[in-house]
Amino acid sequence: MTHTYQLTGMTCGSCEAKVKSALLMVENVTKVDVSKDENSATITMDKHIALQDFQKVLDNKYQISAINHSEAVEQTKSWFETYKPILLIFGYITTVSLLIQLNNDSFNLMQWMNHFMAGFFLIFSFFKMLNLKGFAESYVMYDVLAKRLPIWAYLYAFIELGLGLAFLSNFQPILTNWLTLIVMTISIIGVLQSVLNKKKIQCACLGAVFNLPMSTVTIIEDALMIAMSGAMLLMMNN
C-alpha cells in the first residue's frame, strides 16, 4: 500500500535525503519519496505502519501527519489483515461446535466446550506439524519451559494433538482438563512476559506457516483455553 503524508520541517535537499533515509529504515517500508517544496512524503509499505512508528525515526524538527486517509481506519484494517488466519479459525471452530448443538434438545455447555477445545487443539497442532522445526525454533524464543528444555518445543505440538483427540473422544475428562490447565498456564507465562516487555517476536501459535506478531491476541487464546478447562473442572465437581 502507498500513503502520502504531510511532512514539515524540511528546508533543504540535505533534509530530504536525511528524512528519506530514516523512513526507509522502518520495517516493511519499500519505497519513499519526499518533497520539501510540497512538505510531503509518499511511502510505499508491505502493510500499514502506524504514524508514531514513522515519527520515532525522525528528528523532532520533522513532523509527519496523515492526509487523504484515516489512521484509525487503516490501523483497524491492518489489525484484521494481520490476524485474519486466527480470526477465521476461531470463527470456523465456533460455528461448527455451535451447529453440533442443533442435534440437542437444549444447549449443552459442557459438550460445546469439549468440541470447541477439540477443534482448537487439532487445528493449531496441525499448523505446527507442517513445519515442526520452524515452530520449535520460534517457540523457544519466548516459552519459559522451552528455553530451559528445548525438547519441550517439539513435545508441545504432540501434546496439543493429544489434547485435541482427548477432548473429541471425551477421554478421561478430568485428567484432560487438568493437563490443559497446566500446559496452557505454562504457555501463557512466556507470552505475557514477551507482550509486557514489548518484544517484537513471532508468535508460534500457528507454527511457522503464518508470520503473526506476539500480542494480546495470543494472550486471549491461551487464557480462553485456561478459562474453559477451569470451568469444565468446576462443572464436573459440582
User: In this predicted structure, what is the pLDDT of residue 101?
Assistant: 93
Sequence-ordered list of residues with C-beta below 8 angstroms from that of 202, at least 6 positions apart, any chain? 138, 141, 208, 211, 212, 213, 214
Nearest to 56 by CA among 14, 12, 26, 15: 26
Distance, CA of 69 to CA of 82 (rounded, Å): 19
- 113-132 per-position pLDDT tens digit: 999 999 999 999 999 999 99
Least confident among 81-90, 155-164, 227-236: 81-90
Q: Is the pLDDT of residue 208 over 70?
A: no
Chain-centroid distance, C-alpha 194: 12
Whether 231 and 113 have beta carbons less than 8 Å apart is answered as yes
Q: Is the pLDDT of residue 64 over 80?
A: yes
| Residue linked to cell 530530504 | 16
Q: What is the pTM of this model?
A: 0.75
9 or 47, greater pLDDT? 9
Q: Is the pLDDT of residue 238 over 80?
A: no
In angstroms, what is the C-alpha Rg of the chain?
Answer: 23
- 92-120 per-position pLDDT tens digit: 999 999 999 998 989 999 999 999 999 99
Whether 7 and 22 have beta carbons less than 8 Å apart is answered as no
The half-sphere exposure of 96 on its side-chain side, counting CA atoms within 13 A, is: 14
148: its cell numbers: 530451559
